[in-house]
């Protein structure tokens, strides 16, 4: 509340004003790309699906962000597909949204980068990634997780080793003030598959089984 020449006035933030007007603060989800490198059987964007893939251009996304800023959108998410496949441009777009003063900027990954944890440069690469993200105003980073059982999750995604890579990466992210969240996919395998049969170890059989019993 502020006083002006004997009368009181209240200044509300852009986040509060819509609530007082009976609206929720706007949020915008930009599906930046449908390119993906994972094999999730529940998703039509899995990498084996045959259709023409695309990505919004940087200029298109900047125009969308301009309009969002004008509309006082409070939350903006970049999704995919797998947006981290275009990491440098994604970071530029997060920077642009920060510059346009969008308060809550979010993005996420299927975690494929973390399946590289056996590489000698892995720790260095994660420091590098965390440092780049920490330079932006990114508010939330989610990592999608499909099952409480690591082996099931990795099998569903087609990303062997990704859970170990996440374990190594998390403390590094924390050093940079980034606290990734788990984006939980609710599906029949969330509690684990139990024993994955030898047949289902083959990804195409796993996919067939998942769909035959849908």
Q: Which residues make up the interface to ligand SF4 (CB under 6 A)?
A: 36, 38, 40, 43, 45-46, 80-82, 110
Given the complex with ligand SF4, which of 43 and 170 has the nearer CB atom? 43
Q: How many helices (H) and strands (E) does the chain have?
A: 8, 7
Of 49, 64, 57, 55, the residue nearest 82 (C-alpha): 55
Given the complex with ligand SF4, which of 73 and 145 has the nearer CB atom? 145
CB of 185 to ligand SF4, least distance (A): 7
Distance CA 122, CA 31 (A): 28
**Secondary structure of residue 198 in the 3-state scheme:** helix
Whether the Cβ atoms of residue 115 and residue 167 lie closer than 8 Å to each other: no
CB of 142 to ligand SF4, least distance (A): 11
CB of 101 to ligand SF4, least distance (A): 29
Work out whether strand 75-79 and strand 27-31 pair parallel, antiparallel, or are unpaired: parallel
Given the complex with ligand SF4, which of 40 and 102 has the nearer CB atom? 40
Given the complex with ligand SF4, which of 82 and 154 has the nearer CB atom? 82
Helices (H), 141-195: 150-157, 162-175
Given the complex with ligand SF4, which of 40 and 73 has the nearer CB atom? 40
CB of 69 to ligand SF4, least distance (A): 27
Distance CA 57, CA 42 (A): 27
CB of 131 to ligand SF4, least distance (A): 25
């Amino acid at each position: 509340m502020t006083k002006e020449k004997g009368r009181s006035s209240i200044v509300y933030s852009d986040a509060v004003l819509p609530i007082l007007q009976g609206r929720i603060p706007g949020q915008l989800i930009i599906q930046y790309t449908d390119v993906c490198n994972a094999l999730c059987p529940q998703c039509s964007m899995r990498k084996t699906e045959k259709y023409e893939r695309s990505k919004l251009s940087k200029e298109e996304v900047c125009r969308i962000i301009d309009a969002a800023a004008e509309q006082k959108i409070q939350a903006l998410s970049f999704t995919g597909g797998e947006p981290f496949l275009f990491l440098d441009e994604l970071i530029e777009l997060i920077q642009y949204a920060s510059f346009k003063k969008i308060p809550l900027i979010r993005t996420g990954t299927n975690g494929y980068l973390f399946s590289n944890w056996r590489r000698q440069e892995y720790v260095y690469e994660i420091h590098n990634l965390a440092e780049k993200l920490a330079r932006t105003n990114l508010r939330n980073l989610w990592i999608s997780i499909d099952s409480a059982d690591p082996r099931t999750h990795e099998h569903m995604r087609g990303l062997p080793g990704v859970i170990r890579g996440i374990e190594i990466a998390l403390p590094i992210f924390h050093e940079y003030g980034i606290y990734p969240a788990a984006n939980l996919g609710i599906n029949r395998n969330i509690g684990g598959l139990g024993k994955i049969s030898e047949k289902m170890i083959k990804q195409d059989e796993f996919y067939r089984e998942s769909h035959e019993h849908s």
